[in-house]
Amino acid sequence: MSAQQCASTKAQQKQTEQDEALKDRLSKIKHKIIVMSGKGGVGKSSVAAYLAVSLAQHGYQVGLMDVDLHGPSIPRLLGITGLIGVGDSQKGIPMEFDKNLQVVSIDSLLADRDSAVIWRGPLKIGVIKQFISDIEWNPLDYLIIDSPPGTGDEPLTVAQTIPDAMAIIVTTPQEVSLADVRKSINFCKQVNMTVLGVVENMSGLICPHCGREIPLFSKGGGERTARETGLRFLGRLPLEPRLVDAGDSGITGFLKDPDLVFSKEFTKLVDMVEQVVHAFEAGQAPAPVQSSE
């Protein structure tokens, strides 16, 4: 056997081993949800992070996988520092937010978090697969995947690697965001990915002084798009000034604040996600749900 043939055989063997590891790992994860957006700046990562935290607070075992390789923000949103360790099996050990929530992000693999990740498609595809196959995830009820905006290598890799993943699509109410969201919806159709529903984020600003709602970016665009495309509308989340400081500081305690409008609406969203996921699990895909407003 030539050196070239030997190298090819070893590469094929390594690929087979990774495929088997992927299959084994995914078999221990009940529900996989990718949080997507058509464009950046719509609060997608916040929705992914707080969804994972909320599900963990409900008693589920949850994994949060940040595949936004060029702009990871999950560790900062959750106040997680340090680097991913290596266990006895030579697999990576996820970061722990609490006993119910494990987190993996490229940010936790970089000694210098200001380093730029300059990778082409094949490298990104390989890393995303390794985030599953080479990480010692606990058996999970939910794996929440924070994807970068758009329909590039990262969401495509998730769709191809995790064929039973379901999508939540986050948008803001204005048309410039909705136009790109429709592309995300079409992407999901093309790769046969189930869409759990649409979330309208930044739907009105809650005044910190009087508590009144100001339609800063208009309102209702996400719900309208869900209705026009036959998708569920999971809910609208207001802009809350308090969340800016919370996100920068890695604070999530506000999710339990019963007096915060955002927290009330997010609780409804999480409940809706659980209901829809369990309906799919039971083989009873629910009809699209529209806002009661």
Q: How confident is the model at residue 122 (pLDDT cuts 50, 70, 90)?
A: confident
With contact defined as beta carbons under 8 Å apart, do 209 and 242 qualify?
Answer: no
50 pLDDT more than 50: yes
Query: Residue 111 — left, alpha, or beta (φ > 0 → left; ψ -120 to 50 → alpha)?
Result: alpha
With contact defined as beta carbons under 8 Å apart, do 200 and 233 qualify?
Answer: yes
pTM reported for the whole predicted model? 0.90
Quickly name the fold that domain 30-281 has.
Rossmann fold (3.40.50)
Residue pointed to by tokens 């369990």: 278
Q: How confident is the model at residue 214 (pLDDT cuts 50, 70, 90)?
A: confident
Note the pLDDT tens digit of each residue in 186-205.
999 999 999 999 999 988 88
Average pLDDT, the chain: 88
Q: How many CB atoms lie within 10 A of CB 8?
A: 12
List strand residue ranges (DSSP E) for the chain, in order: 29-37, 62-66, 85-86, 92-93, 95-98, 101-105, 140-146, 166-171, 194-200, 205-206, 213-214, 233-236
| Distant-in-sequence, close-in-space partners of 140: CB < 8 Å, separation ≥ 6 | 28, 29, 30, 61, 62, 63, 102
Tell me what pLDDT residue 104 has.
Answer: 96
Q: How confident is the model at residue 259 (pLDDT cuts 50, 70, 90)?
A: confident
Domain boundaries, the chain: 30-281
